[in-house]
Amino acid sequence: MSLYFKYLLILFKSQMQYRTSFWLLSIGQFFIPFSVFAGLYFLFERFGHIKGWDFFEVALCFAVIHMAFSLSECFARGFDTFSSLIIKGDFDRVLVRPRSTFLQVLGSKFEFTRIGRLLQSGIVLIWALNNLPIEWSFVKVVTLFFMITSGVFIFTGIYMLAATMCFWTVQGLEVANIFTDGGREMAQYPLNIYQKWVAQFFTYVIPFGTVNYLPLLFILGKTKGNELLYMLTPLAGSLFILPCIFVWQFGVRHYRSTGS
């Protein structure tokens, strides 16, 4: 873990060599989801609610998924841009170092400009929380925290799956965007506004539902049945990364036997 911070530090130093572009890109990252959020706001202004959810509840959904997304884009960027590591042949370098490939790939790149997006979603989060009549308790705060981390785990897991694909082919990788960008876009709204099959897919296969929809029911006091179950869903969702790590290791093994 301390090595991870060392990687973080050296790449932060590198980034600071290009300050102007860093600030411009960060500002861009602030405004891009901003326009999406503005669109969302205007829709609520016209329609009032979406299937029983009001604006601030959905804003909370939006904030949580965007925070998770920006954090994972910042800290798991190494997997997101893994194809360049393969194309340049730098993955060989990773293999001749006495550390796990997972740690080294994570440490190979960070995208600090996502601070802009994080800030934007942070503001939305605070705004939403201030306007929602939530009875706060320690457990709810912890749940909120786990919601964001589980989102990070899920996005990272998807990046890893796409990265593993690079061991076979670097073409058509954009498909992964369906689940990262697409997943983010979809999870801006509570999952139950979608058709059943969509909701099921994103609960049981790629568990975005566990990032915001299910635990939000608990936080907002909308649950029917066992509260504990809803509270724990983010933890269950985090487990998504385990099979991804397994698949990744399978990919590394394949790479070492074929060298492709």
Partner 1 sequence: MKVYASILKLRVLIGMQYRSAALAGVATQFFWGFISIMVFQAFYEHSSITPPISLQELITYIWLQQAFLAFIMLWFRDNELFDLITSGNIAYELCRPTDLYGFWYAKLLAQRLSSALLRFYPILLVAFFLPKPYNMTLPPDVTTFILFVITLLLGLLLLVAISMFLYISVFVTLSPMGSLLIFGVLGEFFAGLIIPIPLMPLWLQKIAYVLPFRWTADFPFRVYSGHIAQSDALIGVFIQLGYLLGLLWLGKLAFNSVLKRVVVQGG
Partner 2 sequence: MIKLEGITKSFKVAKRSTGLRQATKALFYREHTIVEALKDITFSIEPGEIVGYIGPNGAGKSTTIKIMSGILVPDGGNCSIMGYTPWKNRVDYVKNIGVVFGQRSQLWWDVPVIDSFELLKDIYNVPEQEYKTTLNLLIETLELKEIMNSPVRQLSLGQRMRCEIAASLIHNPQILFLDEPTIGLDAVSKIAVRQFIKTINQEKGVTVLLTTHDMNDIEALANRVILIGKGSLLYDGKIEELKKRFGSHKTITVDYRKNINSIDIPGTSIIHWSPEHAVLSIDTEKILTSEVITELSQKVDLLDVTIESQPIEDVIIQLYKEFQI
Residues within the interface to partner 1 (CB under 8 A): 20-21, 24-25, 27-28, 31-32, 34-36, 38-39, 42-43, 45-52, 171-175, 177-178, 181-182, 185-186, 189, 193-195, 198
Please state, in angstroms and rounded to a whole number, the distance separating the CA atoms of residues 248 and 243: 9
User: Hey, what are 191's tokens?
Assistant: 């999952």
Q: What are phi and psi of 49, to 5 degrees?
A: -155, 165
Nearer to partner 2, 96 or 196 (CB): 96
Query: How many residues lie near partner 2 (CB under 8 A)?
Result: 27
Q: Are 121 and 67 in contact (CB under 8 A)?
A: yes
Out of 31, 99, 227, 250, name the contact with partner 2 by CB under 8 A.
99
Residue number, 45 or 135, with CB nearest to partner 1? 45
Q: Which is nearer to partner 1, 109 or 184 (CB)?
A: 184
DSSP state of 49: E
Phi-psi region of 51 (alpha: psi -120 to 50; beta: other; left: phi over 0): left
**Rounded least distance, CB 4 to partner 2, Å:** 10
CB 125 within 8 A of CB 117: no
Range in contact with partner 2 (rule: CB under 8 A) among 6-14, 116-124, 200-208, 225-233 = 6-14
Beta strands in 102-142 (DSSP E): none
Q: Smallest gap, in angstroms, from Cβ of residue 252 to partner 1?
A: 24
Nearer to partner 2, 57 or 111 (CB): 111
Cα–Cα distance for residue pair 57/71, rounded to 1 Å:
21
Q: For partner 1, give the closer residue by CB, 14 or 21.
A: 21
Instruction: For the chain, list the strands marked E by DSSP.
Output: 49-50, 53-54
Give the span between the Cα atoms of 55 and 44, in whole angstroms: 6
Convert residues 191-230 into a mask of x (bound to partner 2 by CB under 8 A) and - (unbound): ----------------------------------------
20: contact with partner 2 by CB under 8 A: no
**Helix, strand or coil for residue 111?**
coil
Residues that bind partner 2 (CB under 8 A): 2-3, 6-7, 10-11, 13-15, 17-18, 88-90, 92-93, 95-100, 256-260
